[in-house]
């Protein structure tokens, strides 16, 4: 977002003030009247709910990216994904499924692998995907389900990364929407349109996201190995 905002400001007369947080918390703040003009969620559900509540503009909803889930650990291991979940010692970090789409994807993954019961007593839940990453980074968790986009932060650290097969969870489509309070704000419309530009897609992909639709049974989906 830092790069996208900088580029947008350089190419327009508008300025952006960014507020970061878990999608669920931002959603709650918007419902309670927070002065936000454009909402970029880590899922599609919350923007749609805002539209249903007449708090967002239906024709402004757009998918700006698709997240990818990975399992990361400081441990060096050659075990496959399912085995490391059982064999590793210590806590397993994941974002709270009630607050964060990546947490919901992690929960779906564990369910698909029949690993909820064997691992649930070891879960530690973060409020968002950033806190989940910190749990593993700080050593408070042995392994954790994080976003592939966060691997840039882990690139200089030792450890092992397991790509979660996309068929194990619902695609993490991430939508943006203009809030009703900003319906006539030119800057808001301009920014939503700007998110669809090819140069913005390049930035998004460089940070570990995808910008084309990927489904559970899509054989062309790019996978990290």
CA distance 158 to 144: 15
Share of the chain above pLDDT 90, in %: 74
Q: Is residue 103 part of a domain?
A: yes
CA distance 24 to 22: 5
Select from 18, 21, 20 the least CA-distant residue to 8: 18
- Do the strands 143-147 and 69-73 form a parallel or antiparallel pair, or are they unpaired? antiparallel
CA distance 164 to 148: 10
| Same domain assignment for residues 79 and 149 | yes
Q: Is residue 184 part of a domain?
A: yes
Beta bridge partners of 92: 123, 143
* Total number of residues shown for the chain: 225
Q: Is residue 183 part of a domain?
A: yes
pLDDT class of 155 with cuts at 50, 70, 90: low
| Same domain assignment for residues 128 and 196 | no
CA distance 44 to 196: 16
| Same domain assignment for residues 39 and 99 | no
CA distance 100 to 204: 19
Q: What is the mean pLDDT of the chain?
A: 89
| Same domain assignment for residues 152 and 110 | yes
CA angle 148, 38, 22 (to 5 degrees): 45
Q: Is residue 154 part of a domain?
A: yes
Q: What confidence score (pLDDT) does residue 100 get?
A: 85
Contact present, 46 and 21 (Cβ < 8 Å)? no
Would you give the end-to-end CA distance of the chain in angstroms?
26
Structural domains in the chain (count): 2
Domain boundary among 138, 163, 188: 163
Record the pTM: 0.76
| Same domain assignment for residues 81 and 145 | yes
Collect all residues with Cβ–Cβ distance below 8 Å to 212 and sequence separation of at least 6. 66
| Same domain assignment for residues 148 and 197 | no
What are 88-136's pLDDT values in tens digits?
A: 889 999 999 988 889 999 999 999 999 999 999 999 999 888 899 999 9
- Can you point out the beta strands (E) in the chain? 38-40, 62-67, 69-73, 92-95, 123-126, 143-147, 160-163, 172-178
Q: Rounded to the nearest 5°, which phi and psi values hold at 53?
A: -85, 5
| Same domain assignment for residues 123 and 136 | yes
The mean-pLDDT minimum among 24-28, 40-44, 149-153, 173-177 falls in 149-153
Neighbours of 139 (CB within 10 A): 10
pLDDT (average), residues 71-100: 91
Contact present, 166 and 216 (Cβ < 8 Å)? yes
The mean-pLDDT minimum among 72-81, 114-123, 168-177 falls in 72-81
Residue range(s) defining the domain that contains residue 137: 69-163
CA distance 126 to 22: 10
Select from 41, 43, 3, 36 the least CA-distant residue to 17: 36
Question: What CATH number should be reported for the domain holding residue 101?
Answer: 3.40.190.10
pLDDT class of 150 with cuts at 50, 70, 90: confident
225 versus 200: which is more confidently predicted? Answer: 200
pLDDT (average), residues 127-153: 89
Indicate whether 221 pLDDT > 60.
Answer: no
């Amino acid at each position: 977002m830092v790069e996208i905002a900088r580029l947008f400001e350089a190419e327009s007369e508008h300025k952006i003030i960014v507020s970061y947080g878990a999608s669920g918390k931002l959603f709650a703040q918007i419902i309670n009247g927070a002065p936000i003009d454009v909402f970029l969620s880590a899922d599609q559900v919350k923007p749609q709910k805002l539209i249903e509540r007449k708090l967002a503009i239906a024709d402004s909803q757009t998918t700006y990216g698709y997240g990818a889930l990975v399992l990361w650990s400081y441990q060096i291991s050659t075990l496959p994904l399912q085995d490391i979940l059982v064999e590793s010692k210590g806590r397993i970090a994941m974002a709270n499924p009630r607050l964060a789409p990546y947490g919901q994807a992690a929960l779906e993954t564990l369910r698909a692998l029949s690993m909820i019961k064997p691992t649930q007593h070891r879960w530690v839940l973060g409020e968002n995907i950033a806190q989940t990453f910190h749990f593993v980074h700080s050593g408070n968790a042995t392994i954790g389900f994080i976003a592939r986009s966060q691997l840039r932060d882990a690139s200089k650290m030792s450890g092992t990364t397991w790509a979660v097969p996309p068929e194990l969870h619902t695609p993490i489509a991430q939508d943006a929407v203009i809030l009703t309070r900003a319906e006539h704000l030119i800057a808001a419309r301009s920014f939503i349109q700007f998110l669809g530009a090819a140069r913005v897609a390049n930035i998004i992909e460089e940070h570990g996201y995808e910008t084309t639709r990927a489904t559970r049974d899509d054989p062309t989906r790019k996978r990290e190995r």
